[in-house]
Amino acid sequence: MLILGVFTSLAGTLVLGERFNGAGAVAAAGDHQSRVMTSAVLQLVTAAGAVGIALGFHALLRSHCPTLAVGAVAFRGVEAVFAAGSAFALVALVVLAQLPSGSVEQPGIASLGLVVTSLRDASHFGFGVVFYGFGALLTYVALLKSRLLPRALVVWGVIGVVLIFCTALLGLSDGPPYAIDGWRTVLAAPIALQELVMAVWLISRGPSSSPAVAASTD
């Protein structure tokens, strides 16, 4: 699930590209409908994956840190709402692009497309990432307390979450287009890589059945 979440999140952004930012977003959506809809589907899968990951860690951590586990599910649930909202915003762009010929070029439609795009970007790159940060941080704190995974791996996750959380806040404070691009992708890379490594660890070795086991792998 972690691997799927990283893949769909990255793929959804890469498939869309940068041409859908700005006042020309509606026209671009009309020219690349399949690409927009593919990105929307990938983002919906990402939303479902966020909930699935949270529930999976809840099952793992509820006997160790029940309050933190429930809190993580709540925050990741809100993250999923923003991810789904981002997907529906893309669908809205395609709907606007289906208006009668000539309407798409009207200033009002272009402005509406700009608003939808800004809301989508703020939801996807801003608020969604912020709530992901809260939920992931609670999960990693619970993992530290339970010692079910190697401490170094969990600390790596905490650092990665803090970096991407700060990246989202910077994007929101800077205003549109709210994207995590350029140098900001460097700040987002550590948590993406950590989640892949953690997924491989869980698949190959599973969580430690005893805190002492996790401690011995530090």
- Give tens-digit pLDDT for 155-193: 999 999 999 999 999 888 887 777 777 777 888 899 999
CA distance to 11, 13, 90, 99, per residue, from 115 (Å): 24, 19, 12, 17
pLDDT at 11: 78
- Mean pLDDT for the stretch of residues 53-77: 94
**171 backbone dihedrals φ, ψ, rounded to 5°:** -65, -40
> What DSSP character marks residue 123?
I
pLDDT digits (tens, 9 = 90+) for 29-44: 877 888 889 989 999 9
